[in-house]
Amino acid sequence: MKLTFYKYQGTGNDFVMLDNRDKNFPKNNTKLVKELCDRRFGIGADGLILLETSEIEGDDFKMVYYNADGNESSMCGNGGRCLVAFAKYLKIIENSAVFTAIDGKHDAVIEGELVSLKMQDVSDIKLEKEYSFLDTGSPHHVIFSQGLQELNVPQKGAEIRYSELYKSQGGSNINFVEQVSDDTFSVRTYERGVEDETLSCGTGVTAVALAAFETGLAKSRQIELKTPGGDLEVKFEKGDSGFHSIWLTGPAIQVFKGEIVC
Ligand SMILES: N[C@@H](CCC[C@H](N)C(=O)O)C(=O)O
């Protein structure tokens, strides 16, 4: 089989993108997805995303997301932003989109290289002394600390991801965070399904922004997040039933296009 693929990145979180509107991709082939994401034997990426036709009225398209381990997973914020840029490239949309992903409907807006994605409302945040836990489409453990640059994120992240805390619930992504100024935070993320540190995680920085506000570390509802792969912004509102109108904004870039025989 010969596949035409596109490679995208959003603040260094990178994805193989496939236009699967013709339904030709073998969606249950975990081994193939893993091989395509392999950085030595394949194209190389943190995940693979299929753009499909949505059956839901009002949608422009549907998102199907796989982690680099080949398994379909929960929501990917950076991937969603990149998929919107891909949909514009394919001329499915112009500068706005509505699409459905595993966690429900998303609105999106494009302004130049920046893609803003509306995330699902968040009503529950578990606040513990040492960490916060919340689901922003994907599960996120958030730890505020110091000395972020010196931290061994792959090792510390794996310890928590495989600990008793998340064993029975399919694991979690782990975010290590250092406050830079009033409303700016540096974030490094260990991603479940990549099983390593990635350069950025969209649902991760969204979780960090909400946890920073909930714990009182941040006072503003517009938070800047610095990741090893670049800068993102998260804006939100808070009402009686929790956080809503949550928007994740940052660059989403096409890196290259190619063909692979697999
Ligand atoms: N990189 C993503 C998160 C992808 C999902 C995650 N690895 C999981 O399986 O929970 C993002 O930008 O949100």
Structure confidence at residue 56 (pLDDT): 98
Task: Give the catalytic positions in this structure.
Answer: 76, 201
Q: Are residues 34 and 83 located together in one domain of the fold? A: yes
User: In angstroms, rounded to a whole number, what is the distance separating the alpha carbons of residues 54 and 173?
Assistant: 28
How many alpha carbons lie under 13 Å from residue 103 in its C-beta half-sphere? 20
Instruction: Give the pLDDT confidence of 144-171 residue by residue, as tens digits.
Output: 999 999 999 999 999 999 999 999 889 9
Q: Are residues 111 and 154 located together in one domain of the fold? A: no
CATH number of domain containing 137: 3.10.310.10
Q: Are residues 167 and 239 located together in one domain of the fold? A: yes
Count of domains for the chain: 2
Structure confidence at residue 224 (pLDDT): 98
Q: Are residues 244 and 129 located together in one domain of the fold? A: yes
Residue 96 CA to ligand 1 center (angstroms) comes to 23
Structure confidence at residue 33 (pLDDT): 98
Residue 62 CA to ligand 1 center (angstroms) comes to 17
Q: Are residues 102 and 132 located together in one domain of the fold? A: no
Q: Are residues 47 and 139 located together in one domain of the fold? A: no
Residue 46 CA to ligand 1 center (angstroms) comes to 9
Instruction: Give the pLDDT confidence of 135-145 residue by residue, as tens digits.
Output: 999 999 999 99
Q: Which atom of ligand 1 is nearest to the CA of 80?
A: 12
Q: What are phi and psi of 136, to 5 degrees?
A: -110, 30
**46: Cα separation from own chain's centroid:** 10
Tell me the helix, strand and coil percentages in the chain, rounded to 5.
20, 45, 35
CA-proximal residue: ligand 1, atom 4 (nearest): 76
Confidence of residue 219 (pLDDT cuts 50, 70, 90): very high
Residues of the domain holding 176: 125-250
Residue of 30, 72, 75 to mutate, ligand 1, most atoms within 8 A of C-beta: 75
Confidence of residue 52 (pLDDT cuts 50, 70, 90): very high
Q: Are residues 138 and 212 located together in one domain of the fold? A: yes
Q: Are residues 188 and 231 located together in one domain of the fold? A: yes
CA-proximal residue: ligand 1, atom 2 (nearest): 76
CA-proximal residue: ligand 1, atom 3 (nearest): 76
Q: Are residues 183 and 156 located together in one domain of the fold? A: yes
Q: Give the predicted TM-score (pTM) of the model.
A: 0.98
Q: Are residues 81 and 19 located together in one domain of the fold? A: yes
Q: Are residues 104 and 168 located together in one domain of the fold? A: no
Q: Are residues 98 and 148 located together in one domain of the fold? A: no
